[in-house]
Copies of this chain bind each other. A is one copy, B any other.
Amino acid sequence: MQFMFKKRDNIKEIEEGKCLSPKFDENGLIPVITTDFQSGDILMHGYMNDASLKKTIETKEAHYWSRSRKKMWRKGQVSGFVQKIKDIRIDDDQDSVWLSVDIGNGASCHVGYRSCFYRSIPLGKIKNSQELAMEFKEKKIFNPEKVYKGQPNPTKI
């Protein structure tokens, strides 16, 4: 990668300018929200480093930083569920990214759901966590044991 992002040196420019000056955190990462460009549904929340953001812009395919595997990760490399970029947005202070992607009839979640956000939290006054029974809002659309056969589970305690 040859290009550099603009240095962050002016708050007005960061908020109101046209130059991309992303803020990477103390681990060199920026959080990423990924939505389905057709339904608008949130598919996943991930992270990118400098190189994966550049790679995503240039290749128009989503590349993330895997915190569990500690490496850049082309989404769909194993599963085939590649994310084709339709739009990339950045927020006011340029410390988070929104990808709008095309995954066709594919999925995004390694557990087997289309979206990672398949559970809804009950609202209102609660006494203890046992009462807090979440509701499943989606059905699995693929079998992760077949699709990710032999791969380690990215979920960590």
Chain B residues closer than 8 Å to A6, beta-carbon distance: 129, 132
Does A143 have its Cβ within 8 Å of any Cβ on chain B? no
Chain B residues closer than 8 Å to A157, beta-carbon distance: 8-11, 14
For A, the interface residue count at a CB cutoff of 8 angstroms equals 69
Render A124-157 as a binary contact track against B, CB cut-off 8 A, 1 for contact.
Answer: 1111111111111100000000000000011111
Measured CA separation A33–B89 after assembly (Å): 14
Partner of A129, one of B4, B15, B88, B156: B4
Closest to A1 in B: B126
Closest to A88 in B: B121
Q: Which residues of A contact B (CB under 8 A)?
A: 2-6, 8-11, 14-16, 18-20, 31, 33, 35, 39-42, 44-45, 57-58, 60, 85, 87-93, 95-96, 98, 109-111, 113, 116-137, 153-157
12 extra interchain contacts, Cβ-Cβ under 8 A, other than A3-B126, A31-B45? A3-B127, A4-B128, A5-B132, A14-B155, A40-B41, A42-B42, A42-B89, A42-B98, A57-B123, A57-B126, A89-B118, A98-B117
